């Protein structure tokens, strides 16, 4: 089959429809995944993208022709799919989504039993090889398809992570970005006393208001404008498939995913003292400090959900967080859920009886550069040059290069998909931060 192999990413499959991803390719991917997972049944969910229905039909045809049954979850969120696979014991799951990408993209996130993700080096590479070899197999006993509505079960599951009776009547502005969050949030907040001001809750795969990517500041302007018009305790934004969640304080200032990780860890450890918390190596030092202060055991990891989920199992970690807005829970089959993270934060705020910005003052004590990308020709050579220039610090190559000093640290790592180096710097104050960022950039871009 003639296809663009670049649609196979480190953690999922994603491409432009129909140029890179069409119904023929979707059929072949379904057929291959059914062969690779060797399941009796696969749960399939889809987001609200314009192409998701036709992609669903083709994908499931490939699965059914392989003799495997399909459980059609309908339109749901990615964390809803993970929940279904874990809760109901399906042998695998496929979510049709391109996450935060623009409307003309679509793709697949796949997992095996117990919501264990497939990745570019574990499963998706086999699928790509099958497509390249035109390897299609059909069973004489075709599979069957059945519809399942998980909305009530998923709502019950998400609320089981907190005590709903102690949640205060917060006023919250929530931007669903015309993604799947609007659908999954309504039944949850019907059971809580919070007053919700919904923005773009109607699923619309054309994304008429803004792209479904809240990590980009320009996509938060509608939410921030709405918050200025009223009195809100906090703001919340979700990405397109609603697995990532971002918080804003009452003045509209967005929190980094690492600060949310610290907040969730704080509350999780109050329920689970002494447990292990994972955080990726781009997160602020504040995360590990909060975990230790609460009596937990912090473990630093590489970036990426296909990496952090197996490590959570290895360490039996109760929770794990990433700077990108992914939050993982042991009691959620080690899978991520933005919804559960939001509920845990609401419980923390309810118990603390203090506004979010006051709690943040105690933990958000460092200054950070944010991710700075630089296009370079020879990535390994450049990383080695930076390592030599900052040889005086404590360094490791866990994920790219991390060098730590007493009053600042940085991580420099290659992109998984582009010839880019991604730089993150954190320091005790703004003066140190600006000085170190300037020095690093001069070397990286020389």
pLDDT digits (tens, 9 = 90+) for 300-319: 999 877 788 889 999 999 99
Which pTM was predicted?
A: 0.95
Of 67-71, 272-276, 418-422, minimum mean pLDDT range: 418-422
CB contact set of 262 (below 8 Å; sequence gap of 6+): 284, 286, 287, 290, 291, 321, 363
What's the confidence (pLDDT) of residue 10? 85
Q: DSSP characters for 151-186? A: HHHHHHHHHTTS-GGG----EEEEE-TTSTHHHHHH
Q: Check: CB of residue 408 under 8 Å from CB of residue 436.
A: yes
Q: DSSP characters for 300-313? A: EE-SSHHHHHHHHH
If we measure between CA atoms, which residue out of 278, 339, 267 comes closest to residue 305?
278
- Residue 29: enclosing H or E segment and its boundaries? helix 23-37
Which pLDDT tens digit goes with each residue over 5-25? 999 998 899 999 999 999 999
Whether residue 99 lies in the annotated active site? yes
Q: How many CA atoms lie within 13 A of 300 on its CB side?
A: 16
Which pLDDT tens digit goes with each residue over 158-187? 999 999 999 999 999 999 999 999 999 999
Question: What gap in Å lies between CA 109 and CA 267, rounded to an integer?
Answer: 29
Q: Check: CB of residue 424 under 8 Å from CB of residue 327.
A: no
What's the confidence (pLDDT) of residue 226? 98
Q: Name the active-site residue from 51, 99, 119, 350.
A: 99
What b/e string do you get for 271-299 counting C-beta neighbours within 10 Å, with b at 16 or more?
ebeebbbbbbbbbbbbbbebbeebebbbb
Strand partners, 13: 8, 108
Helix ranges, 364-422 (H): 379-389
User: Is the predicted pLDDT of residue 370 greater than 70, yes or no?
Assistant: yes
Strands in 5-136 per DSSP E: 13-16, 41-46, 69-75, 92-96, 105-112
Give the mean pLDDT of 320-348.
97
Helix ranges, 272-378 (H): 285-293, 305-315, 338-352, 356-363
Domains in the chain: ranges and CATH: 5-150 (3.40.120.10), 171-248 (3.40.120.10), 257-363 (3.40.120.10), 367-444 (3.30.310.50)
Give the mean pLDDT of 55-69.
98
Q: Check: CB of residue 164 under 8 Å from CB of residue 344.
A: no
Q: Given pLDDT bands bounded at 50, 70 and 90, which one contains residue 343?
A: very high
| % of the chain beyond a pLDDT of 70 | 100
Give the mean pLDDT of 357-363.
94
Give the mean pLDDT of 387-391.
97
């Amino acid at each position: 089959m003639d296809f663009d192999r670049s649609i196979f990413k480190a953690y999922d499959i994603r491409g432009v429809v129909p140029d890179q991803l069409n119904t023929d390719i979707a059929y072949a991917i379904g057929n291959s995944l059914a062969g690779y997972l060797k399941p009796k049944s696969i749960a399939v969910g889809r987001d609200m993208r314009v192409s998701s229905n036709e992609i669903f039909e083709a994908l499931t045809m490939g699965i059914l022709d392989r003799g495997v049954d399909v459980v059609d979850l309908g339109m749901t969120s990615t964390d809803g799919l993970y929940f279904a696979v874990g809760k109901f014991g399906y042998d695998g799951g496929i979510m049709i989504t391109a996450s935060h990408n623009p409307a003309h993209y679509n793709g697949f996130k796949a997992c095996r039993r117990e919501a264990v993700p497939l990745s570019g080096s574990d499963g998706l590479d086999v699928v790509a090889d099958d497509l390249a070899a035109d390897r299609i197999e059909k069973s004489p006993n075709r599979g069957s398809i059945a519809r399942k509505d998980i909305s009530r079960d998923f709502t019950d599951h998400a609320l089981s992570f907190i005590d709903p009776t102690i949640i205060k009547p917060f006023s919250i502005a929530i931007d669903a970005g015309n993604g799947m969050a609007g659908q999954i949030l309504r039944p949850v907040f019907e059971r809580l006393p919070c007053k919700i001001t919904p923005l773009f809750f109607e699923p619309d795969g054309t994304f008429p208001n803004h792209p479904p990517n809240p990590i980009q500041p320009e996509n938060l302007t509608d939410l921030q404008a709405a918050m200025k018009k009223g009195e809100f305790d906090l703001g919340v934004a979700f990405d397109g498939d609603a697995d990532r969640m971002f918080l804003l304080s009452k003045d509209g200032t967005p929190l980094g995913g690492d600060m949310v990780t610290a907040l969730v860890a704080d509350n999780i450890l109050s329920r689970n003292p002494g447990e292990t918390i994972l955080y990726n190596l781009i997160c602020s030092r504040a995360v590990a400090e909060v975990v230790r202060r609460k009596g937990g055991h912090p473990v630093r990891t590489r970036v990426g959900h296909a990496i952090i989920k197996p490590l959570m199992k290895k360490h039996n970690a109760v929770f794990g967080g990433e700077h990108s807005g992914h939050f993982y829970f042991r009691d959620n089959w080690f899978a991520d859920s933005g919804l559960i993270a939001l509920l845990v934060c609401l419980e923390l705020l309810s118990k603390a009886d203090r506004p979010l910005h006051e709690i943040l003052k105690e933990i958000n004590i460092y200054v950070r550069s944010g991710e700075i990308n630089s296009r370079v020709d020879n990535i390994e050579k450049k990383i080695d040059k930076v390592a030599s220039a900052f040889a005086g610090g404590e360094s490791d190559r866990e994920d790219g290069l991390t060098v730590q000093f007493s009053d600042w640290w940085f991580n420099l790592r290659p992109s998984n998909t582009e010839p880019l180096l991604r730089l993150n710097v954190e320091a005790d104050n703004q003066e140190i931060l600006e000085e170190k960022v300037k020095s690093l950039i001069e070397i990286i871009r020389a």
